[in-house]
């Protein structure tokens, strides 16, 4: 009986639960998944093995691009809730590849259905669309097409996150972006973190470049009064001086590419609206977090539209709407405007959050917040409102004119639901206050910022302050040699200019390679001001412990240098095993800057080294919760637990490009603390690259294991030098000062060359006795080092050619050398040695000659230039008609060559009295064959060819040219164009 009762009760409970479930509203959730997608891919290839010291070093370019696609499987991270779906590609720079509004399947962030790499970025390889992450220096960053570290998780609030990050090795800063999708919102956020992990200042640059489709009557909703360019030049916004509405894509049908950095209004959002689709998007962040708001348009002529097929197959042309930390993406010329470059201070962390969301059915866009997007406008005597919620809205929307209520509406909306309403009213909508509950959408006050847009005309750039500003600005661009020149000019005017002394000391200490000159500069600065924070700080970095604590203590009095100075003091205390003092310094460094990653890491170390393992483990977990890509914290966790699981977690999550550099950075961090055993443990797990072995050797020497250390150097000496580019100032400690192995000497020379520590010509010259290597990039490097010494360059390049006569880089370099020295026939023969198969097969050669596409168009263009110099104009034209050049951004060199060849051949025909044929080639000079990689701009300058065509007509009629025409033409010609004109005399 009891059994029957139990079964009946269970049955009843089941039915009751079932009824509750079917009557309950659908539960909202967000999911994160790691998947793969197979996409048509136009890959990049051929990394340059020749080091290129400069702002991007130790990174290298990729030179290989192709028009031949392959199918490739790519890793995708998908974030999805009930409203939107976001795609992320951790193998392609961590790019947010695209995002869709689910009910309409509308891509509110451009999703490119092909992966089409083209030569656009700092290192070449770049793809269009999505949201691209850029940190470090102007341009598409070194990481945009490379694998980055990533980590996914479901958060306690039901949201999901994908953390993306990488080191920028050229500056040794580290960035991380958390892409977060809430479970119940129609937006996703990107929370950016950027950290200067060095004790020195570096350049400050960050932009998020988001792609959006251009078609659909796109309006750029960028509140502002003006725009500035890359050099700080200003124009009016949204209407220009000719009355064109620049805020509509289709009204930009003039001129070349467009870069509008819009400013002038204190607003928190920008967006776009496709009026034909009644859809839009918005990006929101508090104004102070993202000052920069930029529109990039390729241009609507063929000059820009050629890039549609270069960058995608079926998704159509796109635009980029970008957000940045500073007002503009400043080129060098911007330093002569109010919009300077700024520096990123040592051990500084910066962070900001942005919201990205679709806008549905609002017939336009005027306001946006994380609650929703609105289109508020006056039309036919009515104040009309369209509102699309992004979050759940349960509140009253009020519109007020002063203290007078114009409109009120109770809202009860789920995400992406909308409401429309109107009220009789006319006036200026910018004077209306708009409130949704406690949220102030607009306060009705003027938003114009009225900041100066031009530098004063009478400012003296050669004054003491003017020279200093130029030096500082160049330093903030990583142009250290030029910066040093200006600081020295300042000191010629005033040898006690304290800021110039301190900045020059920093450059000489770690950027330009004159460390012996640094102490005198710092002493001079401190003789004027004992409390100068930077001078004290730099002396502290250089000094031994007793002196360091003195000057670092003074530097710590300044807010900008307090946390860095205390961090440096803690490092010295740990190195001296004074752990209690270290703990005090660390605590104070964190109080001064709670996001100082070095101080947070030092806190873990001091806890572990004082036997407080539980505390150290807790601190590690706290740091990983905030910064899941902090590999140091994971390694410390492994040191404490000693479990294989934690060891594998540490090792497996380092998956960005050049992973060995991440291991090295951690090991070197331990080395500066004197914790050599920990550094060795890190490197035991690292990929066995040359610099890893050399650092192992250095650390083994520190613990008196000389025999093992020598074995590491021997192993390193057996490995290929390919991709070995020493770049850290600490590397000098592990690069052998002398060695019988030429590779070790080569690495030290690369180090000295890259860091400007000496004139490497003196040491490189020793290699010139006999060919010391079968490593061709060595000779190409040597040719670059000695580029102003013809005999050495020739010998180096000819050695390279003997070793690899089919290496296109060698062929190009040697051919260029012969051409520059007047040996054009020899240059042509060298070029032909690699290009011969293509020349035999003609137009279809790049399909049949087995030469990669990029070798054909690079060497083909070189050959065309040689043919032009040899006055073989018809051959030059024919060759260029057979090439298929994949260009870089803004490239027009091939077209200029084609035009010149046609004009020169027309002159040759004219001189042979073949005027009709000459006229045909002049007409051809005006064309823009797109196989040459550039499209025709609006209003190309055809004045010369128009005059010459008229001249040919006059010749055919035995008439003299009109002197007025010639005079008018000659006034506007460049010297090169004038030389072409003279060919027809």
pLDDT digits (tens, 9 = 90+) for 381-418: 999 999 999 999 999 999 999 999 999 999 999 999 99
Residue 845 pLDDT exceeds 70: no
- Mean pLDDT in residue range 214-242: 97
Fold classification of 464-715 is: 1.25.40
Residue 480 pLDDT exceeds 80: yes
Burial class (CB in 10 A: 0-12, 13-18, 19+), 243: exposed
pLDDT confidence of 362, banded at 50, 70, 90?
Answer: very high
Helix (H) or strand (E) holding 792: helix 790-803
DSSP track, 320-352: EEEEESSSS---GGGGGSS----EE-TT-EEEE
Closest alpha carbon to 921 in 934, 936, 909: 909
Residues 6+ apart with CB under 8 A from 574: 582, 602, 605, 606, 609, 673, 674, 675
Which pLDDT score is estimated for 25?
45
Which pLDDT score is estimated for 26?
58
Which pLDDT score is estimated for 169?
98
pLDDT confidence of 244, banded at 50, 70, 90?
Answer: very high
Residues 6+ apart with CB under 8 A from 139: 121, 122
Residue 832 pLDDT exceeds 80: yes
CA 683-636-641 angle, to 5 degrees, is 105
CA 634-640-641 angle, to 5 degrees, is 85
Which pLDDT score is estimated for 458?
97
Query: How many whole angstroms separate alpha carbon 325 and alpha carbon 207?
Result: 7
Residue 663 pLDDT exceeds 70: yes
Residue 33 pLDDT exceeds 90: yes
Query: How many whole angstroms separate alpha carbon 167 and alpha carbon 454?
Result: 36
Among the listed ranges 20-24, 200-204, 662-666, 932-936, which one has the minimum average pLDDT value?
20-24
The encoded tokens of residue 388 equal 């699309």
Which pLDDT score is estimated for 15?
42
CA atoms within 13 A on the CB side of 774: 4
Residue 221 pLDDT exceeds 80: yes
What are the structural domain ranges in the chain?
31-359, 378-443, 464-715
Residues 6+ apart with CB under 8 A from 402: 444
pLDDT confidence of 20, banded at 50, 70, 90?
Answer: very low
* Contact between 72 and 84 (Cβ < 8 Å): no
Which pLDDT score is estimated for 213?
98
- Mean pLDDT in residue range 601-628: 98
- Mean pLDDT in residue range 486-500: 98
Q: How many CB atoms lie within 10 A of CB 599?
A: 25
Residue 275 pLDDT exceeds 80: yes
Helix (H) or strand (E) holding 532: none
Residue 26 DSSP label: P
**What number of helices (H) and strands (E) belong to the chain?**
32, 35
Query: How many whole angstroms separate alpha carbon 432 and alpha carbon 412?
Result: 23
Which pLDDT score is estimated for 515?
76
Which pLDDT score is estimated for 970?
75
Instruction: Please name the residue ranges forming H helices in 183-276.
Output: none
pLDDT confidence of 889, banded at 50, 70, 90?
Answer: low
Which pLDDT score is estimated for 19?
39
Query: How many whole angstroms separate alpha carbon 83 and alpha carbon 733?
Result: 55
Q: Which CATH architecture has domain 31-359?
A: Distorted Sandwich (2.70)
Query: How large is the C-alpha radius of gyration of the chain?
Result: 32
| Torsion 356-357-362-367 (CA) sign | negative
* Contact between 195 and 349 (Cβ < 8 Å): yes
- Across 48-201, the runs of DSSP E, i.e. the strands, are 62-65, 70-80, 84-89, 95-101, 106-109, 114-116, 118-121, 124-126, 131-135, 149-154, 160-168, 173-181, 188-196
DSSP track, 113-126: SEEE-EEEETTEEE
Residues 6+ apart with CB under 8 A from 106: 100, 277, 279, 358
pLDDT digits (tens, 9 = 90+) for 71-96: 999 999 999 999 999 999 999 999 99
The encoded tokens of residue 225 equal 């009064």
Residue 510 pLDDT exceeds 90: no
The encoded tokens of residue 241 equal 């001086």
Among the listed ranges 449-463, 704-718, 949-963, which one has the minimum average pLDDT value?
949-963
Residue 9 pLDDT exceeds 80: no
What φ, ψ does residue 628 adopt, rounded to 5°? -65, -15
Query: How many whole angstroms separate alpha carbon 448 and alpha carbon 441?
Result: 16
The encoded tokens of residue 745 equal 């000497």
Which pLDDT score is estimated for 807?
97
pLDDT digits (tens, 9 = 90+) for 957-979: 888 877 788 778 877 789 999 99
Query: How many whole angstroms separate alpha carbon 924 and alpha carbon 942?
Result: 11
Residue 301 pLDDT exceeds 70: yes
pLDDT confidence of 16, banded at 50, 70, 90?
Answer: very low
Which pLDDT score is estimated for 890?
57
Helix then strand then coil, in percent of the chain rounded to 5, is 45, 25, 35
Residue 596 pLDDT exceeds 90: yes
Query: How many whole angstroms separate alpha carbon 655 and alpha carbon 651?
Result: 9
Residue 374 pLDDT exceeds 80: yes
Q: In percent, how much of the chain has pLDDT > 90?
A: 88
Which pLDDT score is estimated for 182?
99
What pTM does this model have? 0.94
The mean of the pLDDT values for the chain is: 93
| Torsion 28-30-35-39 (CA) sign | positive
pLDDT digits (tens, 9 = 90+) for 758-773: 677 777 766 554 556 7
- Mean pLDDT in residue range 934-939: 95
In the block, tokens 């000094």 appear at: 543
pLDDT digits (tens, 9 = 90+) for 533-560: 999 999 999 998 789 999 999 999 999 9
Cα–Cα distances (Å) from 551 to 176, 499, 537, 555, in that order, read 33, 17, 6, 6
Helix-helix angle 559-575:545-555, to 10 degrees: 160
Residue 848 pLDDT exceeds 50: no
pLDDT confidence of 652, banded at 50, 70, 90?
Answer: very high
pLDDT digits (tens, 9 = 90+) for 731-751: 999 999 878 888 998 999 999
* Contact between 718 and 741 (Cβ < 8 Å): no
């Amino acid at each position: 009986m009891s059994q029957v009762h139990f079964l009946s009760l269970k049955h009843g409970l089941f039915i009751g639960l079932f009824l509750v479930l079917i009557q309950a509203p659908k539960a909202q959730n967000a999911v994160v998944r790691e998947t793969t997608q197979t996409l048509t891919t136009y890959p990049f290839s051929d990394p340059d093995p020749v080091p290129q010291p400069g702002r991007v070093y130790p990174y290298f370019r990729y030179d290989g691009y192709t028009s031949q696609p392959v199918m490739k499987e790519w890793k995708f991270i998908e974030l999805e809730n009930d409203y939107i779906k976001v795609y992320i590609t951790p193998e392609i720079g961590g790019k947010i590849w695209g995002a869709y509004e689910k009910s309409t399947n509308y891509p509110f962030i451009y999703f490119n259905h092909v992966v089409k790499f083209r030569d656009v970025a700092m290192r070449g390889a770049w793809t269009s669309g999505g949201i691209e992450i850029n940190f470090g220096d102007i341009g598409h960053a070194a990481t945009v097409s490379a694998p980055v570290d990533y980590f996914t998780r479901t958060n306690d609030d039901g949201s999901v996150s994908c953390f993306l990050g990488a080191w920028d090795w050229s500056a040794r800063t580290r960035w991380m972006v958390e892409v977060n999708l809430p479970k119940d919102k129609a937006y996703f956020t990107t929370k950016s973190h950027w950290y200067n992990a060095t004790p020195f200042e570096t350049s400050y640059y960050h932009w998020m470049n988001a792609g959006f489709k251009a078609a659909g009557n796109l309006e750029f909703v960028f509140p502002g009064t003006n725009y500035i360019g890359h050099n700080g030049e200003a124009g009016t916004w949204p209407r220009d001086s000719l009355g064109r509405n620049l805020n509509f894509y289709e009204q930009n049908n003039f001129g070349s590419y467009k870069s509008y950095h819009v400013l002038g209004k204190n607003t928190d959002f920008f967006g776009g609206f496709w009026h034909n689709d009644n859809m839009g998007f918005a990006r929101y962040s508090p104004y102070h977090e993202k000052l920069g708001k930029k529109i990039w348009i390729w241009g609507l002529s063929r000059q820009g539209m050629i890039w549609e097929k270069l960058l995608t197959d079926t998704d159509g042309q796109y635009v980029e709407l970008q957000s940045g930390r500073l007002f503009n993406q400043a080129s060098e010329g911007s330093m002569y405007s109010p919009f300077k470059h700024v520096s990123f201070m040592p051990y500084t962390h910066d962070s900001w959050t942005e919201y990205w969301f679709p806008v549905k059915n609002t017939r336009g866009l005027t306001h946006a917040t994380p609650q929703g997007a609105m289109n508020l406008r006056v039309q036919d005597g009515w104040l009309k409102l369209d509102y699309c919620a992004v979050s759940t809205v349960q509140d009253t929307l009020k519109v007020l004119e002063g203290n007078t209520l114009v409109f009120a509406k109770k809202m009860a909306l789920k995400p992406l639901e909308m409401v429309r309403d109107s009220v009789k009213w006319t006036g200026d909508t910018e004077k209306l206050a708009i409130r949704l509950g406690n949220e102030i959408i607009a306060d009705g006050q003027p938003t114009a910022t009225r900041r100066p847009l031009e530098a004063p005309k009478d400012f003296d750039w050669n004054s003491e302050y003017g020279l200093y500003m130029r030096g500082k600005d160049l330093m903030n661009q990583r142009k250290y040699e030029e910066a040093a020149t200006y600081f020295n000019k300042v000191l010629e005017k005033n040898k006690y200019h304290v800021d110039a002394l301190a900045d020059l000391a920093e450059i000489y200490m770690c950027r330009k390679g004159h460390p012996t000159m640094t102490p005198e500069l710092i002493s001079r600065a401190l003789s004027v001001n004992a409390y100068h924070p930077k001078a004290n700080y730099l002396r502290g970095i250089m000094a031994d412990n007793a002196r360091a604590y003195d000057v670092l203590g003074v530097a710590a009095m300044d807010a900008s240098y307090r946390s860095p100075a205390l961090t440096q003091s803690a490092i010295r205390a740990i190195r001296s095993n004074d752990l209690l003092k270290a703990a005090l310094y660390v605590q104070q460094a964190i109080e001064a800057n709670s996001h100082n990653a070095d101080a947070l890491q030092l806190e873990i170390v001091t806890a572990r080294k004082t036997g407080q393992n539980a505390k150290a483990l807790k601190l590690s977990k706290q740091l990983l919760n905030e910064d899941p890509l902090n590999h140091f914290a994971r390694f410390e966790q492994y040191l404490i637990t000693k479990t294989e699981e934690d060891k594998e977690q540490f090792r497996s999550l380092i998956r960005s490009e050049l992973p060995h550099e991440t291991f090295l950075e951690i090991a070197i961090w331990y080395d500066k603390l004197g914790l050599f055993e920990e550094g060795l443990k890190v490197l035991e797990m690292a990929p066995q690259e040359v610099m890893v072995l050399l650092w192992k050797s250095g650390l083994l020497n520190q613990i008196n294991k000389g025999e093992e250390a020598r074995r590491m150097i021997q192993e390193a000496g057996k490995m290929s030098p390919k991709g070995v580019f020493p770049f850290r100032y600490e590397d000098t400690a592990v690069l052998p000062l002398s060695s019988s192995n030429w590779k070790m000497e080569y690495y030290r020379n690369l180090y000295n060359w890259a860091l400007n520590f000496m004139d490497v010509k003196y040491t490189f010259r020793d290699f010139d006795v006999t060919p010391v290597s079968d490593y061709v990039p060595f000779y190409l490097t040597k040719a670059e080092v000695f580029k102003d010494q013809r005999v050495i360059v020739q010998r180096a390049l000819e050695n390279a050619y003997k070793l690899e006569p089919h290496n296109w880089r060698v062929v190009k370099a040697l051919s260029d050398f012969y051409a520059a020295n007047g040996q054009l026939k020899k240059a042509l023969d060298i070029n032909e040695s690699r290009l011969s198969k293509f020349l035999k097969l003609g137009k279809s050669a790049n399909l049949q000659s087995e030469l990669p596409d990029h070798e054909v168009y690079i060497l083909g263009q070189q050959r065309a230039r040689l043919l032009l110099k040899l006055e073989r104009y018809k051959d030059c034209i024919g060759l260029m008609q057979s090439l298929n050049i994949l260009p870089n951004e803004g490239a027009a060199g091939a077209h200029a060559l084609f035009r010149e060849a046609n004009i020169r051949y027309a002159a040759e025909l004219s001189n042979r009295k073949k005027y009709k044929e000459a006229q045909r080639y002049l007409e051809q000079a005006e064309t823009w064959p797109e196989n040459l990689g550039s499209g025709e701009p609006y209003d190309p300058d055809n004045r010369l060819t128009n005059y010459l065509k008229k001249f040919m007509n006059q010749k055919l009629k035995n008439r003299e040219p009109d002197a007025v025409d010639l005079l008018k033409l000659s006034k506007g010609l460049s010297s090169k164009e004038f030389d072409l004109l003279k060919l027809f005399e």
